[in-house]
Chains A and B, each alone.
Chain A
Amino acid sequence: MSGKFVVGYDGSESSQRALEFAVDRSQAQGGTIVLAHVLEWSPYSFLTPNELEERHKRREEELHRAETAIMTTVVKDLRDKGVTVETVIKYGNIPELLAKIAKDCGAIQIVIGRSGHSNLGARVFGSVAGALVQSAPVPCTIVP
């Protein structure tokens, strides 16, 4: 059975492991990879007037940086290996958007890594993995 694997990817080691896992599975099954990078963003945050003025400029810079620093090399490596890969870069809430991307592209699975330690921050604010498991529209694999 073929299908799309959405991988939450931010360049970190754990997301690297998630990607490797997804690539193995997709090659075994003959599927493709959707590399999703979400920049954490809330439209309800507070900015200074100066930040408002520069927001559009910063956004362009952030998108450019995400494209060049995080996506370009890994996409090239994957394509060299013969993996079919598409990329998505979006702003917003990470688990919400991963779920949405999976739904929009008709993915069969979401794969993400986890940072590994359950720190106090994750307990108080919740973790991406925890939130995604609750809301994912498709099966979700969390790679340790």
Chain B
Amino acid sequence: MNHMHRKNFHAAIAAAGLLMASAPAYAQSVDEKVNQIFASSTGWFVNLIFSNFPGTSFPWIVAWLVVGATVFTLYFGFVQFRAIGHSIALVKGDYSDPDDAGEVSHFQALATALSGTVGLGNIAGVAVAVSIGGPGATFWMILAGLMGMASKFTECTLGVKYRNEYPDGRVSGGPMYYLTKGFAERGLPGGKVLAVLFSIFCILGALGGGNMFQANQAHQQISGIVGAYPGWITGIIFAVVVFAVIVGGLKSIARVTEKVVPFMGILYVGTALIIILMNADQIGWAFGQIFAGAFTGLGVAGGMVGALIQGFKRAAFSNEAGVGSAAIAHSAVRTKEPITEGYVSLLEPFIDTVVICTMTALVIIITGQLVAGPDGNYLLNEAGTAIQTVGGTSGVGLTSAAFGSAISWFPFVLAIAVVLFAFSTMISWSYYGLKAWTYLFGEGETTELVFKVIFCVFVVIGAAANLGPVIDFSDAAIFAMAVVNIIGLYALMPIVKRELNSYVSRLKSGEIKKFE
């Protein structure tokens, strides 16, 4: 290196240093601006969805989901408890025609739908539920998960029954199709209107819970390990990778994620079990807290109702039962009987909520992350909005701290898991959003590209904004989908009942039997 070059080199380093020094200040203001604009432009929508019943502090949307799940559970005679053995036989392929090998199996439809739902809802969402609603939220979350199985059963059966099979061999379905075709078949008005509404909310949900919330929490995780840095940087990196997959058709990345995510899920549950067993003497106490908290609130803000609302909200957000998104993923399965996919899909809320979410909650409770006062009631944080936690953590941070308190290196594994979960959820939701988008605007390369680019832009916004407004908007959009979808499910559930009765009688008579 000669003298001249060295001088330039030094100047470049100095300039780079200057740039780096000024970058955080600039970046902070970008993040803040994004946050402000975002919060002020979405506030009205959030308020509408989460408004309370007059004179109470009970959001109507939570009642809507609970009533829906209860109605389906009763209407189908507790199908989720009676049919679980048959569900497992279907997933194993006992009833699949060997000549259909090479087509989408029940297992594959379930696995893909699960990779869209297992994600941050199970890790961050549960932490939010437990820190606001107390351990009792877990009880309501499990109950919501069990009831939600019936909602999922209904919507996925319809998803397969009214799917579109195109001449070129592609298969796609979802609420927008069963709302239009199913309503027309029953001679009911308004199917088209509901389908359009659903599609609009599905696009918002895809951009919110399926995208911004994921990007946001992934950024929290990464910055928790490498140190704070502006969110838009994570956002751009994520956006580029997502763009490469959904626009560039880079299958290798998607394929790696699809393979690693199930492994991460098993690792997560396995580790949670180990931590719970390490504290085996506390298990009784933890369940005591869950049951006591479910009905008394244990001094939590909002008491029992607060615990219930949080539990139901986070369960719905995590397993998406009644939301309609899963009907899109499940509808490509190869089967002659739509009801079989209903049976298979009811395993989804079970795995997602009853197993995985409960693990997260138990680990947080059992490792003593929630600070209780001398009277046994939980202490609230300074703002009075949530329970005090040991390290003042919330969201993914709380789950991470809980796992880290037992296994010091696990937060690193968790960070990788969160990033991968976030990514696979984004890929799934980009597809759901795209299906809604093409339903509204028609198929075609340009229209599809427009949506995909918008999707990537929202990755950046999500990573840069604060958690509060993002989580509010994500919830609101996803629950808005459920409003429309559950109306449709009520109208179409007699069709599902007919399918169910016919299938069960043929199963009993031996007309439908296992293949060897």
Which residues in A have some Cβ–Cβ distance to B below 8 Å? 39, 41, 43-50, 52-60, 62-63, 90-92
B172 CB–A CB distance under 8 Å: yes
Task: Evaluate contact between B105 and A92: CB separation under 8 angstroms.
Answer: no
A43 to B98, CA, bound (A): 10
A49 contact from B98, B107, B251, B329, Cβ within 8 A: B329
A62 to B262, CA, bound (A): 27
Task: Evaluate contact between B107 and A56: CB separation under 8 angstroms.
Answer: no
Residues of B within 8 A of A60 (CB): 169
Task: Evaluate contact between B170 and A53: CB separation under 8 angstroms.
Answer: yes
Task: Evaluate contact between B428 and A57: CB separation under 8 angstroms.
Answer: no
Task: Evaluate contact between A56 and B98: CB separation under 8 angstroms.
Answer: no
Task: Evaluate contact between A49 and B116: CB separation under 8 angstroms.
Answer: yes
A92 to B102, CA, bound (A): 7
Residues of B within 8 A of A57 (CB): 168-170
B489 CB–A CB distance under 8 Å: no
Per DSSP, chain A at the interface is: helix
Range for the number of chain B residues in contact with chain A: 35 or more
Within 8 A of A (CB), among B76-122: 93, 96, 98, 101-105, 107-109, 111-112, 115-116
Residues of B within 8 A of A48 (CB): 112, 251, 254-255, 258, 427-428, 431
Residues of A within 8 A of B239 (CB): none
Task: Evaluate contact between A46 and B111: CB separation under 8 angstroms.
Answer: yes
Residues of B within 8 A of A91 (CB): 101-102
Task: Evaluate contact between B428 and A52: CB separation under 8 angstroms.
Answer: no
Residues of B within 8 A of A59 (CB): 102-103, 169
B417 CB–A CB distance under 8 Å: no
Beyond A48-B431, A56-B170, whether A43 also contacts B254 by CB under 8 A is no
A121 to B109, CA, bound (A): 29
Beyond A59-B102, A62-B102, whether A52 also contacts B108 by CB under 8 A is yes
Within 8 A of A (CB), among B384-424: none
Beyond A55-B103, A59-B103, whether A46 also contacts B258 by CB under 8 A is yes
Beyond A90-B101, A92-B98, whether A49 also contacts B168 by CB under 8 A is no
Residues of A within 8 A of B329 (CB): 49, 52
B171 CB–A CB distance under 8 Å: yes
A48 to B428, CA, bound (A): 7
Q: When A and B form their complex, which 3 residue pairs have the shortest distance between CB atoms, in order from nearest? A: A57-B169, A91-B102, A43-B105
Per-residue contact bits, chain B 250-270, to A (CB 8 Å; 1 contact, 0 not): 010011001101100000000
